Chain A
Amino acid sequence: MDSWYWHIIFPLSRWLHIVGTTLLVGGTLFYELIVPVAIEDLKEEQQLTVFNRARWAFRSVVWISICMLVASGSVSLWRLWGGYHDLFIQSRWWALAHVAVGSLAMLIAILLIIRRQPPTHPIGWMRLNLVLLLTAILLAGIARHVRLTIREELRRSPNELSSVNW
C-alpha cells in the first residue's frame, strides 16, 4: 500500500466520503429546519410548491452523494478489511454498526425522493433520517478512535510489531 497512487486514492476517497456526508446531512437539515422557517409566511399552496420544487432539486443531490458515499466507503472498508479481521477486531463491530446505520439512512433518503408524491409526514422522516445520519457519523468516530488506540498501544510495545504489516 506504499505505492504513490494509494497516497492519492485514499485521501481523495476520504474527502469524497466527507463531501457526500455533508451534502446529505446538510440537505436534510436544510429541509427540516430552514425551509419551514423560510416559507412560514407564504400561503399553504405556495408552501407546497416550494417544498415540491426543493424536493425535486434535491433529488440529484441525494443520488450523487449516495454514490459518493458507497464508492468511497467501499474503498475504506477494503483498505481496513484485513485489519478488522486481525489487529482491529475490537473496532470491527463499531465499523459494521456505522455501515448498517448509514445504509439505513441512505435507504430512507432514497425512499423519500424516489416517489413522485412526497410522503405523508416529510418533516418527521427527515428528522428521523438526520438522527440516523448523525449516529452514523458518531459510530464512524468511535470505530476510528478504537482503531487508533489499538495502533498506539501496539506502537508502544515493539515486541508485537514484527508481525504487523503497516
Chain B
Amino acid sequence: MEAAIAIISRWLHVSAAAVLIGGVFATLLVLPAALKRLDEPRRDAALAGWRRALRRTVHIALAVLLISGTYNTAVVWSVYKSQRALLHALWGTHVLLALLALGSALLSMAGDAARPWHRKWIAATLVLLLATAATASGTKWARDRAQARPTEPARIP
C-alpha cells in the first residue's frame, strides 16, 4: 500500500509540474503566435478566456504539487536528515525556488485582463520553474547516490 501511494504521489508531482511548466511555456511562446491574426477585441476576448482556463488548471496543479511534494519529502526525510549538506544545498534551494515559482505563477495569472508586465511575469515564472526542476534533478541524483552507498560499520581509529 505504501509503495502504491509513493508511486502515485511521485506521478502526481511530475504530472502537475509538467502541466504547469508546459502551460506557462505555451502561454509565453505559442499563444502570441496563435492569436496574431485576430483583431484586437477578439484577441483580448480570447486572451481572457485563455487566462481563465489556464488559471483553473494552474490552481489545481499548484495544489497537487504542494500536497504530493510534502508527502514525497516526508517519505525520504530520514535520508535528508542523515545528509545535512544535501538537505540545505539542494532540497532547500528546490523548496525555495518552488515557492517563488508558485507565487509568481499565481500573480501572473491573477485577473482576466493581462497587465502590461504580463509577459515579463510569465517569463520570470518559466525561468523559476525550470530552475526548480533543475534543483529537483540534482537533489534526486545526490539522494540516489547517498542511498546507494553501502553502510559501513563505524571504525575506532
Interface residues of A (CB under 8 A from B): 7, 10-12, 14-15, 18-19, 21-30, 33-35, 37-42, 46, 49-51, 53-54, 56-58, 61, 134, 137-138, 141-142, 144-145, 148-149, 151-152, 155, 158, 161, 164, 166
Q: Considering the complex, give the chain A residue whose CB is closest to the CB of B42.
A: A42
B32 CB to nearest chain A CB (Å) = 8
Q: How large is the interface on B (under 10, 10 to 19, 20 to 34, 35 or more residues)?
A: 35 or more
A134 touches B3 (CB 8 A): no
B150 touches A155 (CB 8 A): yes
B1 interface hit (Cβ, 8 Å):
no
B130 interface hit (Cβ, 8 Å):
yes
A25 touches B18 (CB 8 A): yes
The CA of A33 and the CA of B60, in the complex, are separated in Å by: 13
Q: Considering the complex, give the chain B residue whose CB is closest to the CB of A60.
A: B29
Chain A residues, CB < 8 A from B148: 151, 155, 166
Given contacts A11-B137, A33-B57, A141-B14, contact A19 B29 (CB under 8 A): no
Chain B residues, CB < 8 A from A164: 150
One of B45, B57, B140 near A14 (C-beta < 8 A):
B140
